[in-house]
């Protein structure tokens, strides 16, 4: 029995061992299957990538926080410094300038950043300079090796500007006649003048008003101080060349070798008139507006004079901001002093203006305010060969009628009858070219100029443009020949223009020349199109010196500028 039992247990043990091996193998197989399953699963990699991305974003956000803290403190310090120096430099303040600055920083909670306060005399007032230094620990930038951020800034204000000279360069082009723009400008200009003169010592401030459209009419007295080509007395504008816009100066007739400027011809490039039919027909609109209301007002010292001038402005013509700025900076340049002397001698301006424009200096503030409601448009002029000298047009003194030489075809018809009972009548027409004279008045040809040779003379080209617009003259030529090419050819012959792109470049040169001499330029876009913003910002002393306004807001713009230039000058 015993032996039998042992064998049975041995058999059972072997069976259990085999079963155990099967279970173990099955476990190993399941483990391998699970391992292979996880090896193929990619979900875990996204979690890891997300964790890295989160860390990176947190670091970058933290760096942004450090930079924002730096910029916030810088802005707060700069604003406090600017306000402090303006208050400290105020000549009406009896408080110690240093104490005023310290008080501003203490109330702002920024005393720990105030470094130095320097006070110096400037003209009849003072100059105050504040320097600030700041340092603070970073939160996240120290991971990049920056444990602290430093900032340094300063601000300087001066009071004691002994002289203030202002040039108001105002757009009076045709579009200014819309939507009460001129009315609103008159209100703005009056308040500007009132602020300037009320806040300035007597005889220490002047305002020159320079209205511009296609051109700037400076008046007969100023024009007489220049050597002019083809001068006339219909109006007083100049055709500047491209190089003229790179300088504030002008060449007066008093120089040893004065440069000659070309005076703008009196002509109308826009409209038609019937001068060749009706002797008393007038030009509709000329390039240089002869209206005295739109002539410049030089060196005024009174509110009434400036406000009346701006209130009397009329709209007319294209837009030449560049020409307006050229004259504006000229009225601020010391090279113009001889013109001032003549204006005083002629009784045109007050004797207190002797020596103006004053020399450029730290105690003389020169400001140009440029206003426009648009962008540049073409500036027209007459080519040299048609500006002066005899034309080919005759005028009869008795009738004031004109005629000009013209070939025409003269035809003669002869009739003949053949002999015989049934004689036939035939007509023959013979034509030949004949030299004659065409009279637009009655559209007839004559053997001599209209009115005969005794009382006729050739018109000078300047007289032609006093009678005819460019288009009417060209149409008169077409009327004679019947060839439309004659109309367009004469248009091309007799006028040319400077286009808007070239004028943009000229304006940029003029503004750069003015700013190089320290002239402060404010520009105002008065309901101007988007295209105007670029050229006006470029012209201004800085982007903050450009103002975009609508309607009555123009009054606020001029008022803000007037207040700024008559209060303290924040110089740095």
212, β-bridge pairs? 171
Judge whether 299 and 356 are in contact, CB under 8 Å: yes
Higher local confidence (pLDDT), 148 or 2: 148
- Give yes or no for residue 4 having a pLDDT over 80: no
Question: Of 218 and 572, which is predicted with more confidence?
Answer: 218
Better pLDDT: 518 or 413: 518
- What was the pLDDT predicted at 6? 38
* Mean confidence (pLDDT) of the chain: 85
13 pLDDT tier (thresholds 50, 70, 90): very low
Phi, psi of 88 (to 5 degrees): -70, -30
Distance in angstroms (rounded) separating the CA atoms of residues 456 and 270:
29
Provide mean pLDDT across the span 374-380.
96
Sheet holding 227-229, edge to edge: 227-229, 260-263, 238-239
| Phi and psi at residue 103, to the nearest 5° | -65, -40
Q: Is the pLDDT of residue 12 over 50?
A: no
Q: What is the pLDDT of residues 254-267, one digit of tens each?
A: 666 667 899 999 99
Task: Enter the tokens of residue 537.
Answer: 């910002």
Please compute the mean of the pLDDT values over residues 164-193 and round it to a whole number. Answer: 96
Q: What is the pLDDT at residue 318?
A: 97
Q: Give the least confident one: 152-156, 264-268, 310-314.
A: 152-156
Task: State the pLDDT confidence band at 571, using cuts at 50, 70 and 90.
Answer: low
Give pTM, 2 decimals. 0.72
In three-state form (DSSP H/G/I as H, E/B as E, the rest C), the secondary structure along 401-421 is: CEEEEEEEEEEEEEEEECCCC
Q: Which 8-state DSSP code applies to residue 564? A: H
User: What confidence tier does 2 reach under pLDDT thresholds 50, 70, 90?
Assistant: very low
Q: CA torsion sign, 332 to 337 to 343 to 349?
A: positive
Phi, psi of 123 (to 5 degrees): 65, -130
pLDDT at 91: 52
Q: Which residues contact 248 (CB under 8 A, 6 or more apart)?
A: 329, 330, 332, 333, 335, 513, 514, 517, 519
Which positions ≥6 away from 99 have C-beta within 8 Å?
none
pLDDT at residue 508, as a whole number: 97
**Between 55 and 410, whose confidence is greater?**
410
What whole-number distance in Å separates Cα of residue 164 and Cα of residue 158?
14
pLDDT category at 62 given cuts 50, 70, 90 is: low
Q: Are 215 and 323 in contact (CB under 8 A)?
A: yes
pLDDT higher than 60, residue 201: yes
């Amino acid at each position: 029995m015993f032996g039998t039992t042992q064998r049975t247990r041995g058999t059972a043990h072997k069976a259990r061992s085999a079963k155990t091996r099967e279970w173990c193998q099955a476990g190993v197989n399941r483990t391998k299957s699970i391992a292979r399953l996880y090896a193929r699963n990619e979900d875990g990699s996204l979690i890891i990538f997300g964790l890295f991305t989160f860390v990176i974003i947190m670091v970058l956000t933290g760096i942004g926080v450090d930079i924002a803290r730096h910029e916030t403190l810088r802005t707060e310090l700069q604003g406090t410094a600017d306000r402090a120096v303006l208050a400290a430099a105020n000549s009406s303040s009896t408080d110690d300038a240093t104490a005023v600055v310290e008080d501003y920083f203490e109330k702002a909670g920024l005393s720990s950043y105030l470094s130095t306060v320097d006070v110096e005399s400037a003209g009849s007032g003072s100059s105050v300079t504040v320097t600030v230094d700041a340092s603070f620990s970073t939160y996240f930038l120290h991971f990049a090796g920056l444990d602290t951020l430093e900032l340094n800034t300063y601000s300087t204000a001066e009071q004691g500007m002994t002289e203030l000279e202002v040039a108001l360069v105002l757009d009076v082009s045709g579009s200014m006649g819309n939507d009460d723009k001129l009315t609103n400008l008159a209100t703005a200009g009056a308040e500007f003048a009132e602020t300037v003169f009320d806040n300035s010592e007597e005889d220490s401030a002047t305002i020159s008003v320079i209205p511009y459209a296609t051109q700037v009419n400076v008046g007969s007295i100023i024009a007489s101080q220049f050597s002019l080509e083809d001068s006339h007395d219909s109006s007083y504008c100049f055709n500047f060349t491209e190089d003229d816009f790179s300088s504030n100066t002008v060449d007066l007739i008093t120089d040893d070798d004065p440069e000659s400027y070309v005076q703008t011809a009196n002509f109308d490039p826009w409209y038609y008139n019937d001068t060749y039919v009706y002797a008393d027909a007038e030009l509709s609109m000329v390039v240089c507006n002869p209206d005295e209301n739109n002539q410049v007002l030089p060196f005024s010292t009174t509110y009434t004079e400036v406000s009346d001038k701006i209130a009397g402005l009329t709209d007319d013509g294209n837009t030449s901001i560049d020409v307006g700025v050229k004259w504006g900076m000229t009225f601020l340049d010391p090279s113009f002093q001889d013109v001032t002397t003549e204006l005083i001698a002629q009784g045109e301006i007050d004797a207190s203006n002797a020596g103006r424009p004053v020399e450029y200096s730290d105690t003389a503030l020169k400001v140009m305010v440029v206003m426009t409601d648009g962008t540049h448009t073409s500036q027209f002029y007459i080519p040299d060969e048609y500006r002066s000298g005899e034309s080919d047009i005759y005028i009869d003194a008795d009738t004031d009628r004109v005629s000009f030489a013209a070939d025409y075809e003269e035809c003669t018809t002869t009739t003949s009858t053949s002999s015989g009972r049934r004689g036939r009548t035939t007509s023959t027409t013979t034509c030949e070219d004949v030299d004659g004279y065409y009279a637009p008045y009655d559209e007839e040809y004559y053997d001599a100029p209209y009115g005969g040779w005794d009382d006729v003379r050739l018109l000078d080209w300047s007289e032609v443009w006093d009678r005819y617009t460019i288009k009417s003259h060209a149409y008169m030529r077409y009327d004679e020949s019947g060839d439309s090419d004659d109309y367009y050819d004469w248009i091309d012959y007799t006028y040319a223009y400077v286009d808007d792109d070239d004028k943009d470049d000229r304006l940029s040169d003029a503004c750069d020349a003015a700013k190089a001499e320290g002239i402060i330029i404010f520009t105002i876009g008065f309901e101007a199109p988007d295209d105007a913003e670029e050229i006006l910002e470029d012209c201004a002393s800085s982007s903050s010196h450009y103002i975009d306004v609508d309607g009555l807001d123009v009054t606020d713009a001029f008022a803000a500028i007037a207040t700024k230039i008559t209060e303290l000058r924040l110089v740095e």
